[in-house]
Amino acid sequence: MEDSRGPIIFIDDDQDDQLLFKPLLERLAPNNQVVFFTNGQQAIDYFRTSKEPPFIIISEVSMQVMNGLELRRQIEADADLKRRAVPFIFFTHPAYKHLVEKAYELTIQGFFEKQSSHSEMKEQLEAIINYWKSSLHPNRFMD
């Protein structure tokens, strides 16, 4: 699936998670740049200044400055960002029912609880990336 342009945006304020997921994502999607942010505000600033649509956004829910739910709200409220139709996935721990319910009210494309083992997390991320590489969505078409 070569037509999976754009960076993978990973938003998580846990430095250990960033160190763990960066090489994992680089192996799973070697043709996509992996860009990390530590909060939703940094990601929004990037989205508003970058012309290249991301391939996928993977976000933690609980973060300082701007959490993942607020980030998703802001994307949905901004007509230009919403029009980009970027798949938005929550990848978080712990997962609580009320957070899952709030997240799906914001029209996300997936909610995953980070597993405890490296191999299980790799399987989760691999499934997410492979699904979106195969899936058609508006930003996959060239104008």
Predicted model pTM: 0.90
pLDDT of residue 138: 67
pLDDT of residue 2: 44
**What is the mean predicted confidence (pLDDT) over 131-138?**
81
* 17-58 pLDDT, tens digit each: 888 999 999 999 999 999 999 999 999 999 999 988 899 999
- Contact by Cβ (8 Å): 7, 22: no
DSSP single-letter state for residue 38: S
Buried/exposed code over 65-97 (b: 16+ C-beta within 10 A; e: otherwise): ebbbbbbbbbbeeeeebeebebbbbbbbeeeee
Long-range contacts of 18-26 (CB under 8 A, 24+ apart): 20/118, 20/121, 21/121, 21/125, 24/118, 24/121, 24/122, 24/125, 25/125, 25/129
pLDDT of residue 1: 39
Going from the N-terminus, what domains does the chain have, and what CATH number goes with each?
A: 10-138 (3.40.50.2300)
For residues 5 and 143, the model is more confident at 5
